[in-house]
Chain A
Amino acid sequence: MATAAPEQILTADGTPLKASLQKSLMRSKMHAAGLVFPAFLFLVIMFIAPIGVLLTRSIDDKLVNQFLPNTFALFEQWDQKELPDEDMYEAMFLDITGADKTLLGRATIRMNYEVSGWRSLVKKSNREFKKIESGPYKEAMIKVHKRWGEIKYWQSLGAMVDNYTMGYYLNAFDLRFDGDKNVIEQPENRQVYNLLWWRTFVVSLLVTFFCVLLGYPVAYLLATLPMRISNLLMICVLMPFWTSLLVRIVAWMIMLQQEGVVNNVLVSIGIVSDENRLAMMYNFTGTIIVMTQILLPFMILPMYSVMKGISPNYMKAAQNLGAAPSLAFIRVYIPQSLPGVGAGVILVFIVAIGYYITPELVGGKDGRLIGNMVAYHMQNSLNWGLASAMGLILLTGILVLYWLYDKLTGSAGMKMG
């Protein structure tokens, strides 16, 4: 029967009201989703996907398995106490002579991270092995390159046997696997990452501290002075923010170096003698000064936006009730401005912890932070596994700090604007 049920209410164009309503709700839902979709897509492409890639990069270790299937098949049986026997040499011989050129190149670069020297060992062997026609291989291989007779190269394979590894995370903390998968320390003269983590943390903390110290009064002035003056002041805050980073760095060099403006002035008015010019550039001090100046706007702006919202009436009320201006400021104004301080602290700390070009330029021998090593391994050593591991450690550290902050202040504690 084609007749509609009598109890159904129809809209003007004859469709049932319920369906029509559903349709219109659906449409508005789609509309909302459509509006959110670009933001969602942005988040996936710019944030979630790269982190996923980073994560897989930092644990993936299939390359050497693909390169040395025969050798790894025998590896577990080897006791790692003395040089392997003929079978394993033969397996290695077959793996090297049978490998695809690109795979060989990429795998040996990876193997070279474990023990320096793998790369040229395999490359030379690859050339020379073509002349070896039959076994026994052990002696012939050691003749091609004496490193085949050094046990440390064979032992280092132990750290690369599995398809997945935590080795890069260990490397990021000056540790590594030995051949038996025990965690051991890196040789002492290569231990550098722990120091750099610590230095990065200290630099970020100091820069954040000085930003609060310098930024708070400025933000307070911006928020309380009459519009006409505070606008001018705001421009003074934003001007350096809009100036090229390199220009600001070079300006600081000119100001602070030993033959620079500040030292010249101090010497000419006799505060400092010519031989004892202050070293304020190309060291730790320089790093802190320059980074503080560069990151200051990130502190001032969120503080300002919160302070702007604090009604002057609270201060008046406190003083009316008998508090001295200083006490009123401490007990009434500061607590209300804390969300802005918190936002500024988080912002500056997060930006500072990833800085590396600025410290490299102004920090001299103290200018190397963890970010430099990430860049080095991305660009030069192509050790993307280690770079990814360090990147994720940084990210995790920041998330933990953020979580701590959130716990301490409550979820409404932070206002970005």
Chain B
Amino acid sequence: MLGAIREKSSMKTSIKLALAAGAVAFTAGMSGSAFADIVVTSWGGGYTASQQKAYGASWEAKTGKKINWENYNGGLGEVRAMVEAGNATWDIVDVLPDQIRTGCDEGLFEEIPADMFITTGGVSFDDDMMVPRPNDCAIPQIFWSYMAFYQEGTYSGEQPDSIADFFDVEKFPGKRGIHTWANALIEMALYADGVAIADVYDVMDTEEGIERAFAKLDTIKDHVVFWSSGAKPLELVSSGEVSMSLAYNGRVGAAILSEGAAFVPIWDGQVLEEEWLAVIKGSKNKDEAIDFAIHASAPEQQAGQAKWINYGPMRKSGLAIIAANEPWYNTGVNIMEHMPNRDEVMPSSIFANPDWWADNGSEISERFTAWMAQ
């Protein structure tokens, strides 16, 4: 009897405790950002994980401050809304090349002078960059690329090894996976059609050039399966739904490096895209955010990220650290051969021109949508 009462009362206490714990957990969950010193918003998945493990952890260890990592789906919609409302709930955002340009034009990002960045080996920051900073808002992050790939054993005899082969459905029959937006496709189509890499954007500046690109795309249109999320092309290729697909190089690399997938990347005609960090205008933790940004773009930190993902550092010194210290990848294998911006593949790679896309993106997007719909 007494035992039962005691048990009952102890159960009551434990329920109370559980409720209290729940309430604490709830408030913590609600205002996670309030406890963190800065909020960094990125793309999630393996990419954010690489940022966390590389320069996120080292910055937290160095400063004793805490980062809260948030995910988003890209674009500047949220950032613009935040800045216009004067209530920045993020401090740093990881953006694509178009967005760093429009965002800086629109006054959505803080400016960080070039002399604040950490340099190494007596090389100036500007000389260390593989591409020039488009504006003072841009904080160097990585290069990634759109590239073609296929599964080993798909073709007997001659193997596809160029983007021209990707566009050649007679020589290499089978379906092709491509993404549902125009970026990189226009460039690839023109290069596959015989335009020299150096001339691609000059050709794209003309109406005939755009028509030529769409005509090239027409040649594979009946064989196309469209994808819109990054994991999809891997699934399309491994299930045999398509014989070749375009994909983000990081996804293909991760499948090969971590899961041992038998994918063969086609580096020829890959389109290299920039990825930048930016400090949001009106950030409530501006000083910490800038400190983090400077830290994240230091050469060793850039190289450190490549331990976890095969995206290429934007700074030459970062790439040099990796090359000198192979095997660099966390599983103890070489990573350099999966880097999109290593020397060997550069002659046959196209650097995307984000200024062209900032000018023409909307128009081409409409044309591409119309092309898909035909």
A residues in contact (CB < 8 Å) with B: 101-102, 104-106, 108-109, 112-113, 116-120, 123, 189-192, 195-196, 199, 257-259, 282, 360-361, 364-368, 373, 376, 378-384
Contact = CB atoms under 8 A, between A and B. Distances in A.
A259 to B, nearest CB: 5
B362 A379 contact: no
A185 B107 CA distance: 33
Given A120-B358, A190-B366, A360-B180, A109 B102 contact: yes
B363 interface: yes
A191 B369 CA distance: 9
Given A365-B373, A367-B226, 9 more contacts: A101-B107, A112-B362, A113-B362, A192-B370, A258-B241, A282-B225, A366-B373, A376-B365, A381-B362
B197 to A, nearest CB: 21
29 contacts: A102-B105, A102-B107, A105-B107, A106-B105, A106-B107, A108-B105, A109-B106, A116-B362, A117-B360, A119-B358, A120-B356, A120-B358, A190-B370, A191-B370, A192-B367, A259-B241, A361-B228, A368-B369, A368-B372, A378-B77, A379-B74, A380-B75, A380-B99, A380-B361, A380-B365, A381-B362, A381-B365, A382-B77, A383-B362
Nearest to A193: B366
A108 B358 CA distance: 11
Nearest to A104: B105
Interface in B304-334: none
A189 B240 contact: no
A384 B228 CA distance: 23
Nearest to A120: B359
Interface of B: 73-77, 80, 98-99, 102, 104-107, 180, 224-226, 228-229, 239-241, 355-356, 358-363, 365-367, 369-370, 372-373
A49 B234 CA distance: 44
A269 to B, nearest CB: 20
Contacts of B226: 282, 364-365, 367
A381 B107 contact: no
Q: Which 4 A-B pairs have the closest CB atoms?
A: A379-B75, A105-B105, A102-B107, A192-B370
Given A105-B107, A364-B225, A367-B226, A192 B369 contact: yes
A381 to B, nearest CB: 5
Nearest to A115: B363
Contacts, number: 105
A192 B373 CA distance: 8
A150 B239 CA distance: 51
Nearest to B370: A192
Q: What's the dominant secondary structure at chain A's contact region?
A: helix
B75 A120 contact: no
Contacts of A360: 180, 228
Contacts of B370: 189-192, 195
Nearest to B228: A360
Contacts of A259: 239-241
Contacts of A383: 362
Contacts of A196: 369, 373
A259 B151 CA distance: 16
A189 B360 CA distance: 14
Contacts of A105: 104-107
B102 to A, nearest CB: 6
Contacts of B355: 120
A365 B358 contact: no
A114 to B, nearest CB: 10
Nearest to B177: A282
Contacts of A101: 107
A123 B102 CA distance: 12
B42 to A, nearest CB: 16
A361 B229 contact: yes
A367 B372 CA distance: 10
A208 B98 CA distance: 38
A259 B73 CA distance: 29
Nearest to A107: B105
Nearest to A190: B366
A53 B263 CA distance: 50
A118 B225 CA distance: 34
A379 B74 CA distance: 7
A380 B368 CA distance: 15
Contacts of B229: 361
A258 B241 CA distance: 6
A374 to B, nearest CB: 11
A117 B372 contact: no
B224 A382 contact: no
Contacts of A112: 358-359, 362
Contacts of B358: 112, 119-120
B241 A190 contact: no
Contact of B76 (A113, A189, A382): A382
Contact of A257 (B105, B241, B367): B241
Contact of B373 (A118, A195, A282): A195
B363 A190 contact: yes
A199 B75 CA distance: 25
